[in-house]
Structure formats: structure tokens, C-alpha cells
Structure 1
């Protein structure tokens, strides 16, 4: 069994930021990540503080990873299968190995609901398809915008986007056919209506917080399925913390890193035997 002071589950902006803080607190910290971070989908972010000319998701993650390694953080590609409360902390199992730690941070994020459309991943990489109006609606100012989704979420996103463009159309799931060109979206509606072309398609299909490990551990979630935390980012399970998109619906890098800093500091103080 491998000992350490803290385990961080998730290697996105929240997880890596927390690991950097913990390492600088001189804690033995292990980051376990499985698969690419959601942030890697970002072609270029212009609202991440400190990058006046923008920064791509993969570049940002590479910088955070380099910074974490510089302070001695161990980062391993591994899927955490079980998280179990144990004497003086938790046991984390990847199937191949078991790690014991007195404190754990979950930065497991969310999984976007993606429509089954040919070429959609490439269209996301080209910024033709987008998932976050808060992140990049500014760059769509005055453009022809479509919003794909049903119900209140799609209507709310369309209303938000109309503060940037007067040309916003809501497309219901399964209504007609969508296809992607190099720099445009083509929609052929059901029936006899004429095809339309848009500069951007925003997905308003929702996402699923990745809370399974925490819930099996006894952590509570809110009505939206996000983990509930106290002011120091601790869940309802003592010693189990959470930060980033898995906590609340405002899925922003700056929010994730801020929560990670709060959580890491509280974890360090808890390990010192002090109040947060």
C-alpha cells in the first residue's frame, strides 16, 4: 500500500492547481487522471486571466503539468475505481494498486452530453461548435448563431447569446439535419423549410457531474447533481474535498483554480491539525 499526504483525482485545471499548492505546502501529493481533461477541448480561451492573447486548453494543461512536476508532484494516468473511507483517511484503488491518504480532493469535472453527429469533434476544435457561451460568446458578437437543445436550458442560452447577436435560432434535438463545413454549420430543417447556415452552433444539452466516487463514499449532492461543499470545499464526508466543475454549474477555469486553492489550503491545515 502506497502512502501519501493527499491524493487528487482529476488532472484538469482544478486538480493540477490543487496539486501545485499542496506540493508547495511540502505535502506528498499524487494526481490520478484518466483520459483527457475537458479543458483540452478548448481551442483558445480569451477569458483565462493572464493570457491577453488567449491560450489553448492543451497549452494551458501542459503549463500546469510542467509547473506541478517542478514542485515534485507525481502525476499518473489511472482510473480510480473505488474510494473508501478507512482508518485515518481513505483508500483509493485503481485496480492495479491501492493508495492510502488522509485527505482526497475530487476534481473529476463533468461529462458533456454530445449529439451523435459526424464530424462534431473536429467542429469543436475549429470553434464552429461551442459549449460555453460565458467562455466565448464575445468572439461570436454579431455572428449567425444556432443553439441546439430543448426546454429551458436552450431558451436561457439563446437569451444570453442575444446580448451578443440579434441572429440567434434555437434548434430542437432531432429537428432536421445538421452538418459542418470548415467554418460554418448547415441546418436542413424537417419539412419543406429552406436550409440555413450559421457561423456557430452552441450545444445546450447539459452535462453530467462526475460524482460517482463521492456519492458511493456518502457525499451529498444538490438538486442539480453537483457535489455540495462547505466554504473550504469539503464535502459532507470528513476529509473529502471537491473543486471545479463537479461542484457547481459555473464551469469556468478561473472558478476551478480558485476553488482548488481554497481546498488545498484547507487540506494542508487539516493535516496540520488546525482549523481550516
Structure 2
């Protein structure tokens, strides 16, 4: 069973930034990349809102640069997904891919959150080429174009309203007769002249010409009739699921499953375990906020480990 002072679970902007800061602090972190090395940005084409890139940068390119920067300072990356942990005693135990076991004095969780997808034909193939799960990230690319937002909650209303800043027309598609969104969010969307609604239909297939999205095929729940809604983009806004199943019963999570942190820190309910990025942030979910929280997690972990070292040294002197 291999031991490290610090293990980081997950990559993406949060995990990579935590690795950079931890490595520069000589903590020699071991980073497990998760099931998608680089996180959600590896599925994004051009990123235009990350500071320092006035001409934009490709998502995979940005993530690869962050990884190289962390490796430069001594971070070690390994493939694998955390499938179990034991945080009840120190050192903490981490199980990777249900078989490999490691121990650590401190742990940073940066496993992110996965956008829920519709699971329909053509959806995954067109992610980054007209299908998106983030209006803030990709809305700019649909200036003066028609877009569809699929969903019925507050997220869908918020995404649709935001997209009216760029798109010529926004269509909210929902599978039920009524929305789940709060009244104020519904009223805001309904009062916007750019937004129209198609209700009580089931999304069936994302249509494309092979290079870009051309529309969404839906089925009317009442009549069974198939319709085609023409559009240049489809935004899926049916929520996110934090990747924390392996932490249940080990850390305090909120009702949805996001890790609960203390105040303005990255500290969790277990001393020595820290969280950063989308796994603890249900509100912003941006690359830059994830990176910032990764910095905080590494600094908090460094401070914790320094305190542990001082304690161990004191115990040794007094033995």
C-alpha cells in the first residue's frame, strides 16, 4: 500500500491548480485523473473567458498546459477513479478502480460534477459542435442564431434568459405541461420576447449535418406526432450530479450530493480532507472559479500538513 503526504482526486481546473500549488510547496502530490482526465473542459472547443487568453484557447489545450505546469513542479499523475475511501482514521485510505489501495496524510477532492444529459441519439456526438451544457461558457458562439434549451427547472430558465443576450431566438423545450422552475424565474423567461416555449414533448434526437447541429427532433406526448424544431444549438439544462457517490457516509454532503465546506475555506467535515471545484460548487461552475478554489485547497492542505508535522515533532521531543 503506497503512501503519500497528499493525494488529489480528480483533474480539471480545480485538480490541476491544486496540483500546481501543492507541488510548488514540495508536497509531491499524487494526482488520480478520474474517468475523464482534464475534466469537462476537454469536451469544450474554444474557451474565451479564461483570463490571459485574449484570443481564446481550446479547452483540451488549456488543460494540457495546466497538467504540464503541475508536472514541472513535481506532481505525479496516475490514471484511475476513486471508488472508495476510509476517512475514519489516519492515514486516510483511498481505493482506486476497486483494487489499488493508497494512503495519505491529507486528501483533496476535485472530482467535479457531471452535467446530466438526455441520453438521446446524436447528443454526445455533437457536444462541442452545437450541443452544450453551459450557456455561460458557450453562449457567445451563438450570436444571432436560434437555440433550444431543454429543461423545466430554474437552471433552464436562467440559461434561456442568459442566451437571449446573444441568440436571435431561444426555444425552451420541456417534457411536461408545467415547469418545475420557481415562479419568478418562469415570469422572467415568459416576459422575454426572444423566448418561446414548446411543452409536453419528449426530446428524441439531435439533428446535424455531421459538422454542426441543425435541430432537435421531438415527440408530442399527447398525439405521438414527431416534430422537428430547427436550431443552430441545443443547450441541455436538466441539472448536474456531483461525483461524490464514493464519499457517502464519509463526508458531509448536501441534499443534492455536493460536498459541504466550512465558511470561505476548502475544509470539509473531516479534518485533513479538502474539496475544490464543481464537486463543492453548485452555483458558479466556471473554470476560473474552480481554479481559484483549487488554489485554496492546496494552501489549506499545506497549512494542515505543516501543523501535523509540528505536532509529530513535538510528540517526539516529549516522548
Q: TM-score, normalized by length of structure 1?
A: 0.91
Do residues 220 (structure 1) and 268 (structure 2) align? no
- Deviation at residue 97 of structure 1 after TM alignment: 2.8
- Deviation at residue 11 of structure 1 after TM alignment: 1.8
User: How far apart are the structure 1 equivalents of 2:3 and 2:226?
Assistant: 64
Q: Cα deviation per residue 1:32-82 (whole Å; 9 max; x = unaligned)?
A: 122212221111111111111111221112111111111111110012222
Q: TM-score, normalized by length of structure 2?
A: 0.79
User: How far apart are the structure 1 equivalents of 2:75 and 2:213?
Assistant: 42
CA contact (8 A) 1:45 1:135 kept: yes
User: How far apart are the structure 1 equivalents of 2:140 and 2:229?
Assistant: 22
CA contact (8 A) 1:2 1:99 kept: yes
Q: Which residue in the other structure is 2:271 paired with?
A: 238
Q: Which residue in the other structure is 2:306 paired with?
A: 272
| Structure 2 SS opposite 1:245 | helix
- Deviation at residue 107 of structure 1 after TM alignment: 0.3
Distance change (3 Å), C-alpha of 1:172 and 1:180: farther
| Structure index of larger Rg | 2
CA contact (8 A) 1:23 1:73 kept: yes
| Structure 2 SS opposite 1:114 | coil
User: How far apart are the structure 2 equivalents of 1:264 and 1:111?
Assistant: 23
| Selected match of 1:175 from 202, 227, 231 | 202
CA contact (8 A) 2:84 2:247 kept: no
Distance change (3 Å), C-alpha of 1:87 and 1:204: closer
User: How far apart are the structure 2 equivalents of 1:86 and 1:3?
Assistant: 17
CA contact (8 A) 1:105 1:241 kept: yes
CA contact (8 A) 1:184 1:197 kept: no
User: How far apart are the structure 2 equivalents of 1:240 and 1:215?
Assistant: 14
User: How far apart are the structure 2 equivalents of 1:214 and 1:8?
Assistant: 14
User: How far apart are the structure 1 equivalents of 2:89 and 2:242?
Assistant: 28
The runs of 5 or more residues in structure 1 that have no matched partner are none
CA contact (8 A) 2:143 2:168 kept: no
Q: Give the length in aligned residue pairs.
A: 273
Distance change (3 Å), C-alpha of 1:228 and 1:143: same
Once the two structures are superposed, the pairs formed by residues 243-254 of structure 1 within 5 Å of their partners are: 243-249=276-282, 250-254=284-288
User: How far apart are the structure 2 equivalents of 1:176 and 1:70?
Assistant: 46
Do residues 185 (structure 1) and 219 (structure 2) align? no
* More moved, 255-264 vs 173-182: 173-182
User: How far apart are the structure 2 equivalents of 1:258 and 1:194?
Assistant: 44
Once the two structures are superposed, the pairs formed by residues 59-208 of structure 1 within 5 Å of their partners are: 59-85=61-87, 87-94=89-96, 95-126=98-129, 128-173=130-175, 174-175=201-202, 177-178=204-205, 179-181=207-209, 182-189=211-218, 190=220, 195-208=228-241
CA contact (8 A) 1:149 1:203 kept: yes
Q: Which residue in the other structure is 2:292 paired with?
A: 258
- Deviation at residue 155 of structure 1 after TM alignment: 2.3
| Structure 2 SS opposite 1:220 | coil
